[in-house]
Structure 1
């Protein structure tokens, strides 16, 4: 029912939430030697999700290790500025998707009340 009600936006909200956690982990491990930064290819994950893959499976299929612009001596691939930018962009997209879902819920609530 949620897919019919929210369409692509329900799956997108779940994926953006998963990506937020992954980016947060990258930022938190910016000084951890040997840590390899990861990110979710959002378009690939959404396509997998809409193609019938379960949430965890779609994220796993679309998770990629980042290739750093400049390698560090300790093997850490986190580039803090890039991670912060990706986090900010994802947060804006998450907020927009959440607004759409909230609007859809309000519309359904008004319809149920007969307004």
Structure 2
């Protein structure tokens, strides 16, 4: 009997990739908080998750034919965020406090997804050992 990792791991394998991409985007916003003209970006989590679970492939390359191919694609659908703060005069729309809060929330959700995946792997391991 074969094991389908897609069925066994559920949506959690996809959420990790989407949360990781969102963390990169939010970190980029924070890094450019003082860059004139920089526009804050974000990823629509639900849309990116739907794209990842629809069967699209990952933008990773296999360096060896024996490697397992990745099965999740995080859509690069970054959207510009509508600024919530008044214009500072330099055209930058990054609100550092908002970005830090969003980054922290995303990090907690990323960790929760990793915890769920860890529990899934633990249960799969128990099932394979017959515990």
Q: Is this a same-fold pair by TM over 0.5?
A: yes
Query: 1:6 Cα shift?
Result: 0.9
Q: Which runs of 4+ in 1 moved over 6 A?
A: none
Q: Which residue of 1 aligns with 2:111?
A: 95
Distance 2:110 2:54 in 1: 21
Distance 1:74 1:6, change over 3 A: same
1:67 corresponds, among 82, 85, 89, to 82
Aligned length: 114
Distance 2:81 2:57 in 1: 24
Distance 1:86 1:2 in 2: 30
Q: What's the Cα RMSD here?
A: 1.6
Matches within 5 A, 1:35-74: 35-55=38-58, 58-60=74-76, 62-69=77-84, 70-74=86-90
In structure 1, the gaps of 5 or more residues are none
TM-score (norm 2): 0.79
Larger Rg: 2
Distance 2:16 2:89 in 1: 37
Q: Which residue of 2 aligns with 1:82?
A: 98
Q: Relative to total residues, which structure has the larger helix share, 1 or 2? A: 1
In structure 2, the gaps of 5 or more residues are 60-72
Q: Which residue of 2 aligns with 1:109?
A: 125
